[in-house]
């Protein structure tokens, strides 16, 4: 018989753009006994998740559920269900994931107008308004709240007002923000939003929270042609998640368990407390990096605390630094995507990974590796600045 490879995944400190570390309670939940996806006890877990999703999204939306798959499945479900062939879409793009929404909307047959911003700045609301008025009869406006490729936080309220004043729906990507920075679906007036489990919710990747406003749900139900995705057809999925319990797919049981525990942990900590924790640790990291002598990429006024983009100094080798962090310290950080490939590191402090110890360990480890690369990193200054902000 062929020899099977040993199964021994290493311990890592996950400080990249996702996944983040998972809480031990979440990991234990995934090892709970499997039941059928229509078992009465499992249905109770689904109902509990719907209640908690509304609390974490800060919404009263009846249609709040989780699609099977990573955050991209939430994106695809939202876009493919809201966009019909010929629908006009105005998409704000300031990074890699805004561009992904555009690609999906075009595949759905939408006529898309892009509103671009530099990768490091948010989309300007004035530019969105000009595009909406120039396009006319816009069905959907889309933006990314927390752009994972750039570390930029997008203001939502001005864009929501523009969309609604012009009769359009607003779709918001909250993959990297939900559970880490304030997400206020009802207060924003967002009509559809989605997230992922592997970022600030601190569960493994595998399901995607989605919430749909009554207005957006009416638009989905009024479609003239069926959604061109069967697996992510929200009308079919809702009929499984609501009281009808109509068979649609075999739910990823263990991931639903994980989502349940992750949401419970968020609510036990308290949303405001959790937001404050991420803010404090993220700003301490950013202050430490600047004190070390490094430059941050995102505009200062719009920097996310949960995902920081650091410019790679001239003469420093991207892959060697990330490789040394992983090999010597077990620390994973991400490289740049798209236009920022080879230009930035993406450092995450999300969910369970957002701790004072990770901030100080990362600054020390990075500083020593940078010195080996010839960059004069002020390690003591970085540690001192971060410690001051963490105290």
In terms of domains, do 125 and 209 share one?
A: yes
pLDDT at 1 over 70: no
Residue 13: strand, helix, or coil: strand
What band does 71 get if pLDDT is binned at 50, 70 and 90? very high
**pLDDT > 90 in the chain, percent:** 98
Residue 4 lies in a domain: no
Q: How many residues does the chain have?
A: 391
pLDDT reported for residue 5: 83
Residue 1 lies in a domain: no
User: What is the distance of C-alpha 275 from the center of its chain?
Assistant: 14
Residue 5 lies in a domain: no
Nearest to 90 by CA among 81, 78, 101: 101
In terms of domains, do 173 and 253 share one?
A: yes
First to last CA, the chain: 58
In terms of domains, do 103 and 252 share one?
A: yes
The CA distances from residue 131 to 15, 91, 125, 136, in Å, are: 37, 9, 10, 8
Where residue 196 sits, what CATH number does that domain have?
3.40.640.10
Residue 8 lies in a domain: no
pLDDT at 6 over 90: no
Residue 341 lies in a domain: yes
Q: Which residues contact 317 (CB under 8 A, 6 or more apart)?
A: 373
pLDDT reported for residue 211: 98
The predicted-structure confidence for 36-68, as pLDDT tens digits, reads as follows 999 999 999 999 999 999 999 999 999 999 999
Which among 250, 268, 286 is the end of a domain? 268
Rounded CA-CA distance 282/286 in Å is 6
pLDDT at 257 over 60: yes
pLDDT reported for residue 3: 77
User: What is the distance of C-alpha 28 from the center of its chain?
Assistant: 23
Q: What is the pTM of this model?
A: 0.96
The predicted-structure confidence for 276-306, as pLDDT tens digits, reads as follows 999 999 999 999 999 999 999 999 999 999 9
In terms of domains, do 301 and 264 share one?
A: no
What band does 4 get if pLDDT is binned at 50, 70 and 90? confident
Q: Strands across the sheet with 334-335, in order? A: 307-311, 344-348, 334-335
pLDDT at 320 over 60: yes
Cis (ω within 30 of 0) for the bond into 19? yes
The predicted-structure confidence for 172-210, as pLDDT tens digits, reads as follows 999 999 999 999 999 999 999 999 999 999 999 999 999
Residue 68 lies in a domain: yes
Q: Which domain holds residue 258?
A: 24-268
pLDDT reported for residue 86: 97
What band does 217 get if pLDDT is binned at 50, 70 and 90? very high
pLDDT reported for residue 61: 98
pLDDT reported for residue 19: 97
In terms of domains, do 116 and 171 share one?
A: yes
Burial group, residue 11, by CB count within 10 angstroms (0-12, 13-18, 19+):
exposed
DSSP string, 299-349: -GGGB-SSEEEEEPPTT--HHHHHHHHHHHH-EE-EE--GGGTTTEEEEE-
Mean per-residue pLDDT for 215-239? 97
Mean per-residue pLDDT for 25-33? 98
Report yes or no: 201 and 262 within 8 Å, Cβ to Cβ.
Answer: yes
Nearest to 29 by CA among 197, 204, 261: 261
Residue 19 lies in a domain: no
Which among 247, 268, 289 is the end of a domain? 268
DSSP string, 46-113: HHHHHHHHHHHHT---SEEEEEESSHHHHHHHHHHHH--TT-EEEEEESSHHHHHHHHHHHHTT-EEE
In terms of domains, do 224 and 166 share one?
A: yes
Mean per-residue pLDDT for 219-242? 96
Number of domains in the chain: 2
Average pLDDT of the chain is 97
Report yes or no: 49 and 263 within 8 Å, Cβ to Cβ.
Answer: yes
pLDDT at 124 over 60: yes
In terms of domains, do 262 and 327 share one?
A: no
Which among 229, 244, 268 is the end of a domain? 268
Burial group, residue 156, by CB count within 10 angstroms (0-12, 13-18, 19+):
buried
């Amino acid at each position: 018989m062929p020899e099977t490879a040993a199964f021994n995944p290493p311990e890592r400190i996950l400080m990249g753009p996702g996944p983040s570390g998972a809480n031990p309670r979440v990991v234990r939940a995934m090892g709970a006994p499997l039941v059928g996806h229509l078992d009465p006890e499992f249905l109770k877990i689904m109902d509990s998740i719907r209640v908690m999703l509304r609390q974490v999204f800060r919404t009263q939306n009846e249609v709040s559920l989780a699609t099977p798959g990573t955050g991209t499945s939430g994106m695809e479900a939202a876009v493919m269900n809201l966009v019909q062939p010929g629908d006009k879409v105005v998409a704000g793009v300031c990074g890699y994931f805004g561009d992904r929404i555009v690609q999906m909307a075009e595949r759905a047959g939408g006529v898309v107008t892009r509103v671009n911003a530099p990768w490091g700045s948010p989309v300007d609301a004035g530019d969105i308004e000009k595009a909406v008025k120039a396009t006319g009869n816009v069905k959907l406006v889309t933006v990314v709240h927390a752009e994972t490729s750039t570390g930029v936080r997008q203001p939502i309220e001005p864009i929501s007002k523009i969309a609604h004043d012009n009769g359009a729906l607003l779709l918001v990507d909250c993959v990297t923000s939900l559970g880490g920075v304030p997400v206020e679906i009802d207060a924003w007036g967002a009509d559809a939003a989605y997230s992922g489990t592997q970022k600030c919710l601190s569960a493994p990747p595998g399901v995607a929270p989605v919430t749909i406003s009554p207005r957006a749900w009416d638009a989905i139900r009024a479609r003239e042609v069926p959604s061109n995705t069967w697996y992510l057809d929200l009308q079919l999925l809702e009929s499984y998640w609501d009281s009808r319990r109509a068979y649609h797919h075999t739910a990823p049981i263990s991931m639903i368990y994980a989502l349940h525990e992750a949401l419970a942990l968020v609510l036990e900590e308290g949303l405001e407390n959790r937001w404050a924790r991420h803010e404090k640790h993220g700003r301490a990291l950013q202050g430490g990096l600047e004190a070390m002598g490094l430059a941050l990429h995102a505009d200062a006024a719009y920097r996310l605390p949960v995902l920081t983009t650091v410019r790679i100094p001239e003469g420093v080798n991207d892959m060697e630094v990330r490789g040394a962090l992983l090999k010597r310290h077990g620390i994973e950080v991400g490289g740049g995507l798209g236009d920022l490939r080879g230009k930035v590191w993406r450092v995450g402090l999300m969910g369970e990974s957002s701790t004072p110890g990770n901030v100080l360990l990362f600054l020390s480890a990075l500083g020593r590796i940078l010195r080996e690369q010839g960059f004069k990193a002020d390690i003591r200054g970085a540690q001192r600045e971060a410690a001051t902000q963490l105290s």
